Structure 1
């Protein structure tokens, strides 16, 4: 999402206005680095009234769920298509991680910023939770099948593994790491987690 610069008083169709508010909120949150975002700050950035912001996002958590849903809509096609035909756990994990890494490197760490903020605890929408669980289950099943991990071990490995593309992507987005080096680093770190999963499976089978 990139911020849409608007002049005060410009009229937009409702869907365009909503998209504009989401784009501006995403930029402001990435700058701020934590939740919640001041409604007045968003209104000032969008050059609208607070009342208009509340019209589109009436609840305290509605804006952040809308941002998550928009981000996951953009991410889902890349992640799911990258891994759609993969059955091998290693290829599935690395393809998913690469797609996620490149998304964060381009769009910023908005997803992790919102999901990990205590402000959203217990308030993440069902749509977002379902997407996250679908990705986690698919990766966990592949690890269980290939390495003999227990479901709990597999979910733990997936949780750790998904932090790698997030952090590498964040460093690229911030300009602290170039894209290609970030991709290589992400790949190496994910392979490290997979190696832990492999060894964990061997221990479980003993």
Structure 2
């Protein structure tokens, strides 16, 4: 009898996890469709043919739903090896590998990360895996920029933010059909090193 009860409880939990995962996937789809994180949980419920109250039973507000979307994105980036890429010793090699992983991620899974983090209200209250992963990757790259290019901490963070625009723009061109994914990868391999070299301080004897 106890085994039967445990089996029913396990199946119930699995169904609950599946329902939550479907809600997260639908929210992600709507973010990309609307090109904005300002989606409505009501629309998520409508698209899934479920009740508004059921969505809110899993995600009490929009912020919680968006954090769940970003947590899924963080898991995908971790699986793709972005943390290992950020940990490489060589600045250019590390930055290029991170850029290509991010490019391929956006091309395959959409721009939910970029679209969510555009919203200052979400960025200020962001919690969960994406917050910690993003901080680790950005800090790892920024430390290399500080060490090799002799920038201050704030300037180094600014350089990393600028570099993020390369894979993001490349993925947009892929989605529009303007370039192939391989061409976008080649752009990352060329533009990231060129940008870093351009930002490298000139030696006195080069002036």
TM-score (norm 1): 0.85
Q: Find out whether 1:81 has 2:54 as its counterpart.
A: no
Superposition RMSD on alpha carbons, in Å? 2.1
Deviations 1:27-82 (A, max 9, x none): 11111111321222111111110000001110231111110111011112321233
Query: For the pair shown, which has the larger CA radius of gyration, 1 or 2?
Result: 2
| 1:126, distance to aligned residue in structure 2 (A) | 4.9
For 2:128 and 2:26, locate their aligned partners in 1 and report how far apart those are by CA, in whole Å: 24
1:37 aligns with 2:39: yes
Report which stretch shifted further, 22-31 or 33-42. Answer: 33-42
In structure 2, C-alpha distance between the alignment counterparts of 1:158 and 1:121, rounded to whole Å:
17
Equivalent-residue separation in structure 1 for 2:137 and 2:41 (angstroms)? 32
Q: How many residue pairs align between the two structures?
A: 192
Per the TM alignment, residue 197 of structure 1 is displaced from its structure 2 partner at its CA by 2.8
State the 4+ residue runs in structure 1 displaced beyond 4 angstroms. none
| Structure having the larger proportion of residues in helix | 2
| 1:14 and 2:16 correspond | yes
Task: Provide the C-alpha distance between the structure 1 equivalents of 2:35 and 2:121, rounded to a whole number of angstroms.
Answer: 13
Gaps of 5+ in 2: 1-11
Q: Alpha-carbon deviation of 1:133?
A: 1.4
Verify the 8 A CA contact 1:149 1:197 in the aligned structure 2.
Answer: no
Q: Does the 8 Å CA contact 2:86/2:137 hold for their aligned counterparts?
A: no
- SS of the residue corresponding to residue 179 of structure 2 reads coil
Do residues 164 (structure 1) and 166 (structure 2) align? yes
- Determine the C-alpha separation between the residues in 1 that align with 2:149 and 2:121: 37
